Chain A
Amino acid sequence: MALTASDVTIHFGGVVAVNGMALDVMPGEIVGLIGPNGAGKTTFINCLSGTYRPNTGTALWQGDELIGLSPSALLRKGVARTFQNVASLHDLTVLDIAKLGAGVRRDRRTGGHLLDFFRSDRALEELLMESILAPLELNDVAHKPIQTLSYGRRKAVDLARALAGDPQLLLLDEPVAGLTSHEGMAMAAAVRDVRDRHGCAVIMVEHKMDVVMSTCDRVAVMAAGSKIFEGRPAEVQADPEVRRVYLGEP
């Protein structure tokens, strides 16, 4: 088992956003996390990625506890995430952002910045162009500032940033939301391709059911902060309870 999260609970004041959530993920598996708005999917991801600290719960990743670690410590352990909304960062090019993603993996609190100063990053640039940007079709815009790109491509840049850190656990928060269906399918293909090439485990929060069905190996359904169902995509679609709270009757 790569990731074993259990009993994750977080409340904000009186609102219990995630309530006793448990999820296991195997290496190389893509797990979809679906559910109605406000079900706590993103909050759960935030708990795993160090953005929030849950009130109770554990998340064991290859034997280490993830809960309580900062995002930068998590990245050094190989846990990366993408964001629902992509920030626009002035003055940074697509390649710069990929380099940032690659850089956070290294621990340089001991003053390694000074070494960077004298090191050429040409080799790193070529590596990133070839192995990260090219598969996401970002090669042609590598030297463009991110705010000149379309929303879909910005999301691809965010994924590239996460991938550049060579993660073993990838948390994707609505990777295809807001994309055209063509872009969405390309993104879904990229996610599968990433899993195939890097062998990383993926947890993917997503609303677009066609993407979830075609991409995920397993789907967990959340409602009101808890997991109400878990199974293969086809089983999820057939489950009456999931239909009632989320999918709706055909």
Chain B
Amino acid sequence: MSTRHIAIAIGVAVVMAVLAVVLGRYGAYLVNAVAIAAIGALSLNLLIGYCGQISFAQGALLGVGAYTAGNLGNAGLDGAVAILGAGVLGALVSALIGLPAMRLRGLYFAIATLAAQAILEYLFKILDPLTNGVSGLVIKPPSIFGIPMTSDESLVLPSLVLLVIAWLVVSRLLRTDLGRAFLVVRESEIVAKGMGIDVGHTKLWAFLIGGFIAGMAGALIGFANRLASPEAFTLDLSADYIAMIIIGGLGTWPGPIIGAAFVVLLPEVIQRVGEAAGISDILSALRELAFGLLIILFLIFEPRGLTALLSRIKLRRIGVVPPAGLRATGEGSQSPEGRSR
């Protein structure tokens, strides 16, 4: 975490806050949605982009956060306590999801997370006293530090504050031994082991930290929607988050935020265009298709996502043409052969 990172993170948050104020209620709703999605994407980027553990259970993990915060908030606790509680439970559940990673690698582990997603979805439906079954848990508007959160406008501030904290925590983390160990585990577990890195221990920490951030993001989703229901936290949501980090740029610093903004705002844009042209029914069906297509295109042409795309455009504008095959990758690092994984 450098001073530049701090300045950029705060700058982005300030711009988003100004947009929320200027654009009114709908703008505040969008800013809030982007900020929360960005926190969730940061957590998944930590796990997939930096530590190389592919998880399809992010949707359910966000659900755990939403249900936990909802129950704690409904019980009369302050929203801040509820968010922290959601983080703690998110971390614990995430560590459980990560347990198979001690034995399984790559795709095999990814399939295990698919099972975890299915089990959690099922639990949301049957744990009636905590989740209110299929009809969903109605969440009362909480107060955060005594300030009532009755609208999207009021939630923007806590969401943006958490976004900045999560963003900077993740970037600081990567400058510690643990963060460097994540990167080695991602490249090769055999190399990591040979270098004396405790691979299981490293993965466990990735799941704990990622889960904590995801739990807090889930809490904010619950507070924003005022409802936590099983159909809100399905595999579709997991897929959205994977789309965010791939489109934004796997394992890049600004990727999760760019990707979250893109994935949250694209459907809104499609909707507006559709309404203007009078074909909104057809276009809204195109949403899933558009994301699927984008993921494939990015994986083929720019595995480092929009982040790499943007920095290439920037380099070209200031007159530096990167040599063929050497792509600038956002954070001052270069990977000559791209990221062929």
- Name A residues whose Cβ lies closer than 8 Å to a Cβ of B: 49, 51, 70-72, 74-75, 80-81, 83, 87-93, 96-97, 99-101, 103-104, 108-109, 113, 116-117, 121, 145, 147-148, 161, 165
**B135 part of interface (Cβ distance < 8 Å):** no
Q: Which B residues touch A148, using CB under 8 A?
A: 334, 336
Alpha-carbon separation in the docked complex, A234 to B334 (Å): 47
- Name B residues whose Cβ lies closer than 8 Å to a Cβ of A: 172-173, 175-178, 180-181, 183-184, 187-188, 191, 193-198, 201, 205, 251, 331, 333-336, 339
- Known interface pairs A97-B180, A100-B177; 12 further A-B residue pairs with C-beta atoms within 8 A, sorted by A's residue number: A51-B194, A70-B198, A75-B196, A89-B187, A96-B180, A103-B181, A104-B195, A104-B197, A117-B173, A121-B175, A147-B336, A148-B334
Q: Which B residues touch A93, using CB under 8 A?
A: 333
Q: Is the CB of B196 within 8 A of A165?
A: yes
Q: Which A residues touch B195, using CB under 8 A?
A: 71, 100-101, 104, 161
Q: Is the CB of B196 within 8 A of A72?
A: yes
Smallest Cβ-Cβ distance to B338: which chain A residue = A90
Q: Is the CB of A117 within 8 A of B188?
A: no
| Residues A145 and B334 in contact in the complex (CB < 8 Å), given A83-B194, A89-B187, A92-B180 | yes
Smallest Cβ-Cβ distance to A165: which chain B residue = B196
Smallest Cβ-Cβ distance to B202: which chain A residue = A113
Smallest Cβ-Cβ distance to B335: which chain A residue = A90
Alpha-carbon separation in the docked complex, A87 to B194 (Å): 11
Q: Is the CB of A91 within 8 A of B196?
A: no
Smallest Cβ-Cβ distance to B172: which chain A residue = A117
Smallest Cβ-Cβ distance to A109: which chain B residue = B201
Q: Is the CB of B331 within 8 A of A91?
A: yes
Closest chain-B Cβ to A170's Cβ sits at a distance in Å of: 13
**Complex A-B, nearest 9 residue pairs according to Cβ-Cβ distance, in ascending order:** A103-B177, A104-B196, A75-B196, A87-B191, A116-B176, A72-B196, A113-B178, A71-B196, A91-B333
Q: Which A residues touch B191, using CB under 8 A?
A: 83, 87, 89
Q: Which A residues touch B198, using CB under 8 A?
A: 70, 72, 109
Alpha-carbon separation in the docked complex, A59 to B253 (Å): 45
Q: Is the CB of A103 within 8 A of B180?
A: yes
Alpha-carbon separation in the docked complex, A81 to B195 (Å): 8
Smallest Cβ-Cβ distance to B174: which chain A residue = A91
Alpha-carbon separation in the docked complex, A117 to B172 (Å): 7
| Residues A90 and B339 in contact in the complex (CB < 8 Å), given A51-B194, A96-B180, A101-B195 | yes
Alpha-carbon separation in the docked complex, A108 to B198 (Å): 10
Q: Which B residues touch A109, using CB under 8 A?
A: 198, 201
